[in-house]
Amino acid sequence: MIYRLYPKKDATIYEDTLRKNQNTGKDEILEVIKLYDTDNTTLLGNSRALLQYDLSTISQSIVDGDISGSIKYYLHLESIDESQIASNYTLYVYPLKESWDEGVGSEPDTPHNVDGVSWVYRNGTDVWDVINANANTGKHPSNVPGLSLYYDFVSTLGEFTLIDAINGINGTATELNISSSFKMEMSASAYGGGTANLSASLSSGSIYYIDFEVDPTNINGIDFRIQRPDNTYYTAAEVSNYTQNLTTAATHSVSFTASNSGNHNIQFTFFDENNSNGVTATIDNFFIYKMVSPGTLVNDTFVVNGTPASASYFLTEPITGSLGETPSIFVSQSKLTMSASNFGGATLFKRFELFGGIGYTASFNANSGNMFASNSDVSSSIAFTILEPDGRQLQASEMDGYSEYLSGSIQFTSSFVAAQDGHYYFRWTYYNDTIGDASASLSSFVLKTDPTLYPTGAYYSDRTFEARYNVNSGGGTWYTSSWGTNTTYSQSFDKYVQNVNVEVTEYVNDWLRGDRVNNGLIVLKSRVDEASTKKFGSMKYFSSDTHTIYPPTLDIRWDNFTFTTGSLSALSSASGADDVILYVKGLLTEYKETSQAKIRVFGRERYATRTFSSSPTKVVKYLPTTAYYSVVDAETHQTIIPFDDTYTKISCDSTSNYFNFWFNGLQPERFYKFVFKVVMNGTTKYYDDNFYFKVVK
């Protein structure tokens, strides 16, 4: 069955300065838009949609057993208008962290109504708690769980190299440098050009993200491509949010599934096409990171050779070698190598923010090589320790599977419950106890939350949440995934898809279990899209205050299909569905909106088999299991509940075919009709034979 809930409240919040305090709780539309000044260039802000549904009836129906099995929940928004929208874009849906008041304002109000939710205030008085949000300043290497590489180009180009360089016809060399503003600068002159190339070893089947900021400056366009190990290139269909020709300053975030294992080349090709006296373009804040499993906080696989990101790993407590050599770290062959010479050494560390009362598991592969944990050890080893925020070292008795000294090649896994909030330090100490060079290595460092260690009744405390803004502080606060499964929901759109129809199952399950407070949902664009200069147009949807049949709904879907035919006979399928006549018995002309009914559906062959009998007989036969129903608004002909191969199947008992229907999922005081579909012996037939009814209050 597909059952629909209508919102308890909804509103749009606007970031631009003129409307940042405005409430639109009674407006007839919900809007997700980027707002620009009259110059059509200066970003004034974004808008976001907020919705909340009362789940009390659903919760009770689950307790009573009326809703059971594998239940799915979908947010549905009906598009009212799309103006100058981008050909491809994505909207994200997250569960809200804080409560909010709907208010009674609307967008055209003059002066603006400021009582109720707005961009700045969640209830007209209290501001959104953006200060304590953990990610309101943008993506940073320290908060990207599956980080493979990050370059800020402050001191090095990393492993970016210039290939296929063509000097200008005036002899000027094409170059790759660090600009005065600490960005990777690509420069060419007089028809010269080249490709900035980065090689990264990726694993087949894994999903990778590439984020970067680009400014073509005075280059007509930069050709951005991703090359496989076999030298073929990924197509636009294989890379989400992909733009090959980069012509404007923007932040890009693309993702793709690696089809081969091995070295992939990320390439930016540039040329001076106009015989200019020098053109430049820049790349900054370049990330490669991997989609990680639920609960994963860190997943460092060291896929790009060279020096690792300074924001991710550090050396401390260095001991200089006897000839002045400085200990160092570098990435090679998917390992982080720790090196020291002539009695030198250091401690490698990575820090990460953890929360008290939460269980964590840390794992990694290590090889002590010819290093020692200290200058007093007699056997090869490195030492692994964890420091709490106050500097206290965790003891072996506080960690399962822990061993401080790691010798040879070892796979290490240890679990613990954090006692404090704050930054924990994961440390690997090494020392070269001889003349010459020595090295040890670390690979595949993974840090995950561990539900098996959560104290009874405590579970994850939800102290981490997100907020972000570009112009004015506010815009809501939200969790970036579901509680237990770490699931996030989004929907991608193109010119053929306009309505929002996105699954939100795990968010709703969190609310129904009581793991989180139901404060509703927020619909918004990604951080990259909200901050970029790319224009997406205006996406408008009907709100709960619309005077149409299209308010936002939370669709509850569960499989209540049963098929027990008893002594009934099957309809003959020799000629397919075209030779089946379908009718409904006992369909009332009106139903109370609170009513539930079993709708009986019958089918018979168009040409009944001739029989000889002294009295009339009426044999009930059953439709195949591939029979379905839908609900259509009689006036607008809009499909309210569509055909679904799982959730609108017609059941059968020993009396006849039937389906159960709850009428309070429809708007009252309107006429509707049932439409049926039967798939039989390779043919499909639709039955739209005036099966009308009205829902009344």
Q: What is the pLDDT of residues 303-334, one digit of tens each?
A: 776 655 445 788 999 999 999 999 999 888 88
pLDDT of amino acid 456: 38
Q: Does 454 score more than 80 pLDDT?
A: no
Quote the Cα angle for 456-459-464, to 5°.
155
Q: 49 vs 355, which has greater pLDDT?
A: 49
Please state which of the ranges 90-104, 375-389, 545-559, 653-667 shows the lowest mean pLDDT: 375-389
Q: Distance (Å, rounded) from C-alpha 141 to C-alpha 131? A: 20
Please state which of the ranges 11-15, 197-201, 352-356, 409-413 shows the lowest mean pLDDT: 352-356
- Show the domains of the chain with their CATH numbers: 2-130+467-557 (no CATH), 145-290 (2.60.120.260), 296-453 (2.60.120.260), 569-696 (2.60.40.10)
Structure tokens at 301: 């696989």
* Secondary structure, 3-state, 304-325: CCECCCCCCCEEEEEECCCCCC
Q: Checking DSSP bridges between strand 43-52 and strand 9-14, what pairing results, if any?
A: antiparallel
581-599 pLDDT per residue, tens: 899 999 999 999 999 999 9
pLDDT of amino acid 326: 94
Q: Distance (Å, rounded) from C-alpha 588 to C-alpha 608? A: 28
Are 309 and 165 in contact by the 8 Å Cβ rule? The answer is: no
Q: Distance (Å, rounded) from C-alpha 27 to C-alpha 12? A: 8
* Secondary structure, 3-state, 10-50: EEEEECCCCCCCCCCCCCCEEEEEEEECCCCCCEEEEEEEE
Nearest to 634 by CA among 664, 671, 587, 592: 671
Please state, rounded to an integer, the average pLDDT across all residues of the chain: 88
Q: Does 32 score more than 60 pLDDT?
A: yes
Full-model pTM: 0.64
Structure tokens at 112: 């603006």
Q: Checking DSSP bridges between strand 161-166 and strand 2-5, what pairing results, if any?
A: unpaired
pLDDT of amino acid 310: 44
Q: 531 vs 65, which has greater pLDDT?
A: 65
Q: Checking DSSP bridges between strand 359-367 and strand 437-449, what pairing results, if any?
A: antiparallel
How would residue 372 be classed by pLDDT, with cut points 50, 70 and 90? confident
Counting every residue, how long is the chain? 697
pLDDT of amino acid 89: 84
Q: Which helix (H) or strand (E) holds 507?
A: helix 505-513
Nearest to 661 by CA among 619, 603, 598, 614: 598
